[in-house]
Amino acid sequence: MSRAVLSLGSNLGDRLGFLKLALDAVRPALVAVSSVYETRAWGVEDQPDFLNAVCVVDDPARDHWAWLRTGQAAEQAAGRVRELRWGPRTLDVDVVTVDGVTSEDPELLLPHPGTPERASVLVPWAEIEPDAVLPGHGPIATLLAARPADEIATVRRTELTLS
């Protein structure tokens, strides 16, 4: 296993800097990275807006667990504190999918269970892999088309860059 899609988000502190920190953690394996988007918070809505991006990475030496640990290490380096589910965070790195692997382990659900309903993941992912398929759910273009237009409108592309 090697190819993974990772979703990156930050809504505390140096948001862009924390996204760059996450990319630095995977840079040798980086295949593609989306533009940076600003989105409303999801889950707990009374918090600052997020900066979000999606990246595709590929490393034959890493399986889905290795991608999880890489993301967790980046979160820790960003000083993430897990106090409130869906609460504000310096950095969130979600493993969206890895080579079509499915996992029902509570520590790593694959594909990431929120993906089909989150325009904040689907929009940037569609930018870099428009023909991608989310295992068990179908083409991301179809999933994105099923999201309400007002939700998609809240995913705003910025002029910020991660490269």
- One-letter identity of residue 25: A
Domain count, the chain: 1
Task: Judge whether 142 lies within some domain.
Answer: yes
pLDDT in tens, 57-80: 999 999 999 999 999 999 999 988
Residue 16: pLDDT above 90?
Answer: yes
Dihedrals φ, ψ of 50, to 5°? Answer: -95, 150
Residue 32, in any domain of the structure: yes
DSSP structure string for 143-154: HHHTS-HHHHHT
Give the DSSP H/E element, type plus range, for residue 142.
Answer: helix 140-145
In a domain, 162, yes or no: no
Structural domain contains residue 17: yes
pTM beyond 0.75: the answer is: yes
Does a structural domain hold residue 163?
Answer: no
Report the C-alpha gap between 141 and 131 in whole angstroms.
7
Q: What CATH code is carried by the domain that includes residue 28?
A: 3.30.70.560
From the number of C-beta atoms within 10 Å of its C-beta (0-12, 13-18, 19+), residue 107 rates as: exposed
Q: Is residue 10 part of a domain?
A: yes
What's the CA gap between 143 and 40, in Å, rounded?
19
Q: Which domain holds residue 51?
A: 3-157
The confidence band for 86, taking pLDDT boundaries of 50, 70 and 90, is: low
Domain membership of residue 107 (yes or no) is yes
Which pLDDT score is estimated for 42? 74
Give domain status of residue 68, yes or no: yes
pLDDT tens-digit readout, 91-125: 999 999 999 999 999 999 999 999 999 999 999 99
User: Which tens digits make up the pLDDT trace of 36-50?
Assistant: 999 988 777 778 999
